[in-house]
Amino acid sequence: MAHEMIPGAQALLRVFEEENVDVLFGYPGGSVIPIYDALYDSTIKSVLPRHEQGAAHAADGYARATGKVGVVMATSGPGACNLVTGLATAYLDSVPIVAITGQVKTNLVGTDSFQEADVTGITIPVTKHNYLVKEPYQIERFADLVREAFYLARTGRPGPVLIDLPFDVSAGCVPWTERNIEALDGYEEAAVPDEADIDRAADMIEAAERPVMMIGGGVVTAGAHSEIIEFANKCNIAVVHTLMAKGCFPESHELSMGMPGMHGMAYASYAIQHSDLLIVIGARFDDRITGDLSRFAPDAKVIHIDIDPAEIDKVRTANIGIAADARTATRALIQAVSARDRGAWEDTLLKFKRDHELAYTDDDELMAPQLVVQKLHEVTGGNAIVTTEVGQNQMWAAQYYPLEEPRKWCTSGGLGTMGYGHPAAIGAQFGRPDELVVDIAGDGSIQMNMQELTTGTIHELPYKIIILNNSFLGMVRQWQDMFFDKRYSGVDLTGNPDFVKLAEAHGAVGLRCGDRDRIVETLEQAMEVDDRPVMVDFAVSKEENVFPMIPAGQSFENLMECPMAEKSSSA
């Protein structure tokens, strides 16, 4: 059958429409002009960030906040190279993104022509898959290739997929073929858990005296939060969450044992250490969780459920490994497991919680950063979508802004990308225009993608940036403080710009607060603005450290809680 021939750029946008893409974050250049030309007549909203890195993180924030695939576009060479950090960020956190990059004309590929970079080569390690569309077999099935990119990005363990499109492919004609997802290359039925494995797991859970469930980002991806709550409630099992799963299990729930790991709640780490069974769902035993692996949860058997078979036994050998979707598997477990009484263990957990509460002191001349986050939680009713930068700000956000729902948390967990939070807030705000979006930032990180304030202003996005300004690259300073004899090297941010003026120069609102008694008032003022971004500069205690802390490569035996607070509570 002869197919309708249409320009590659139009075929691309038609597939975008099929995929319900409503917004695209992209930056033009010579090789993507044909696509921009097609966008001129399209209903898809094209957002122009001020840097391609911003575009990539915005697509990522959009994807995390909505559960849909984020779309980003850049031109060949420098534009595409600027996406790399954003792709790596999304790759390590399994976020579905489709990235379109322009490429030089097919006959020039491989000749070092102007603005040519080997983008498929560069991005192999940071994408789930990528395509350089230039072979006839690819052009003939171009529409399917784009559908396949979306399919791969969002299914299984999600991740970024990149399509590198030479100018002459987007400008030239391709056949328009009908959509048939099941015929796509790589199409797979979702893996269902093996019944026998579920039964064995159920027996193991019933036999356990001190079980703990640890949930990770896979639970967000699978939309399994309701199932996790039901499972925990039914079997009375305490739940710890990794940084990636924050909000998946309501943090106010009595069974919530918080976040374990390097800067997690001490009681979460103690729960894991004393458990005899870890039920790990959609988490991957990152070293920030485990520390010294040989001393991690030494008495625990492990049931590991993950959609990616390669995660099972990768770090910690599982007694039962179940390669399946978190939601399907949890549902099966709910059916299979019966509740039982574990009074002693519950008491132990309660005691851990009581004895090892998060603590900090607010006795510096400048306000404690934790206090700002707590007040933010109060003022926003805990309902904001929170994005974070990286460093101490990120950890304080995780500790002091408890969340009750999934997809309200966008943080660069795996890569730890400073500069992520601001563009991610923009993406989240586009995806969920009616919700309050807040970027909890450090004064260092915020300067990495500051330029995107313009994007926020132009689109009248009312997100808030809360800078916990300690005039330091705080997290690095903390390590130098604790492990390098306070030899502060390369971390002093004295000479920071005037953030209020900077906000104003971008057409946003800038506010400043240096007085702990004015935190709430300042935040309320920020919340009143509804037609542009607000950046609030909080002058916080300069040398505050994040506690608890388990130093890298160590274990819960080396866990340090806030020294000052301990003293005052024991007094």
Partner 1 sequence: MEMPRTISVLVKNRPRVLARVAGLFARRGFNIDSLAVSTTESEGISRMTVATTADAPTLSQIAKQVSKLHDVVDVIDHTDLKVVERELCLIKVIVDRGQRGELISLCDVFRGDIVDIGNGSVMVQLVGDTDKIDAFVELLADYEIVEMVRSGKIVLDRGAQKE
Ligand X SMILES: Cc1ncc(C[n+]2csc(CCOP(=O)(O)OP(=O)(O)O)c2C)c(N)n1
Give yes or no for residue 227 binding ligand X (CB under 6 A): no
**CB 372, min distance to ligand X, A:** 11
Give yes or no for residue 391 binding ligand X (CB under 6 A): yes
Residue 473, helix vs strand vs coil: coil
The candidate with the shortest Cα–Cα distance to 308, out of 336, 285, 275, is 285
Which member of 6, 23, 73, 152 binds partner 1 (CB under 8 A)? 152
CA distance 269 to 260: 5
Give yes or no for residue 309 binding ligand X (CB under 6 A): no
Give yes or no for residue 16 binding ligand X (CB under 6 A): no
**CB 125, min distance to ligand X, A:** 17
The candidate with the shortest Cα–Cα distance to 81, out of 113, 47, 55, is 55
CA distance 437 to 461: 9
CA distance 403 to 407: 10
Return all residues near 335 (Cβ < 8 A) that are at least 6 apart.
none
Site for ligand X, residues 442 to 461, rule: CB under 6 A: 442-445
545 dihedral zone (left: phi>0; alpha: psi -120 to 50; beta): beta
Q: Per CB under 8 A, which region of 127-135, 494-502, 509-517, 538-546 contacts partner 1?
A: 127-135
The candidate with the shortest Cα–Cα distance to 393, out of 367, 414, 372, 415, is 372
Give yes or no for residue 198 binding ligand X (CB under 6 A): no
Comparing CB distances to partner 1, the nearer of 148 and 544 is 148
Question: What does 223 interact with, of ligand X, partner 1, none (CB < 5 to 8 A by kind)?
Answer: none
Which member of 50, 64, 105, 128 binds partner 1 (CB under 8 A)? 128
Tell me how many degrees the CA angle 196-284-281 measures, rounded to the nearest 5. 45
The tokens describing 511, both together, are: 């506010």
Backbone angles phi, psi at 237, to 5 degrees: -110, 130
**CB 124, min distance to partner 1, A:** 6
Comparing CB distances to partner 1, the nearer of 122 and 238 is 122
CA distance 311 to 420: 26
Give yes or no for residue 317 binding partner 1 (CB under 8 A): yes
Q: Per CB under 6 A, which region of 199-207, 452-460, 473-481, 510-518 contacts ligand X?
A: 473-481
The tokens describing 452, both together, are: 């995107």
| 8-state DSSP, 310 | G
Give yes or no for residue 111 binding partner 1 (CB under 8 A): no
Which member of 208, 475, 523, 526 binds ligand X (CB under 6 A)? 475
389 dihedral zone (left: phi>0; alpha: psi -120 to 50; beta): beta
Question: What does 168 interact with, of ligand X, partner 1, none (CB < 5 to 8 A by kind)?
Answer: none
Which member of 269, 470, 522, 545 binds ligand X (CB under 6 A)? 470
**CB 514, min distance to ligand X, A:** 17
> How many positions of this chain bind partner 1 (CB under 8 A)?
17
**CB 129, min distance to partner 1, A:** 4
Q: Per CB under 6 A, which region of 116-124, 230-238, 263-271, 466-474 contacts ligand X?
A: 466-474
Comparing CB distances to ligand X, the nearer of 299 and 492 is 492
Which member of 4, 135, 460, 498 binds partner 1 (CB under 8 A)? 135
Which member of 14, 129, 200, 459 binds partner 1 (CB under 8 A)? 129
Site for ligand X, residues 408 to 437, rule: CB under 6 A: 416-419
Give yes or no for residue 94 binding partner 1 (CB under 8 A): no
Give yes or no for residue 155 binding partner 1 (CB under 8 A): no
Question: What does 389 interact with, of partner 1, ligand X, none (CB < 5 to 8 A by kind)?
Answer: ligand X
Backbone angles phi, psi at 127, to 5 degrees: -130, 160
The 3 state secondary structure assigned to 193-213 is CCHHHHHHHHHHHHHCCCEEE
**CB 396, min distance to partner 1, A:** 33
| 8-state DSSP, 188 | -
Helices 474-483 & 392-400, crossing angle to 10 degrees?
100
Q: Per CB under 8 A, which region of 126-134, 287-295, 414-422, 550-558 contacts partner 1?
A: 126-134
Enclosing H/E stretch for 470: none
> What's the one-letter identity of residue 201?
A
With beta carbons less than 8 A apart as the criterion, state whether 339 and 333 touch: no
**CB 369, min distance to ligand X, A:** 7
CA distance 474 to 491: 7
> What's the one-letter identity of residue 207?
A
List contacts with ligand X (CB under 6 A).
389-393, 416-419, 442-445, 468, 470, 472-476
List contacts with partner 1 (CB under 8 A).
120-121, 124-125, 128-129, 132, 135, 152, 185-186, 308-310, 313-314, 317
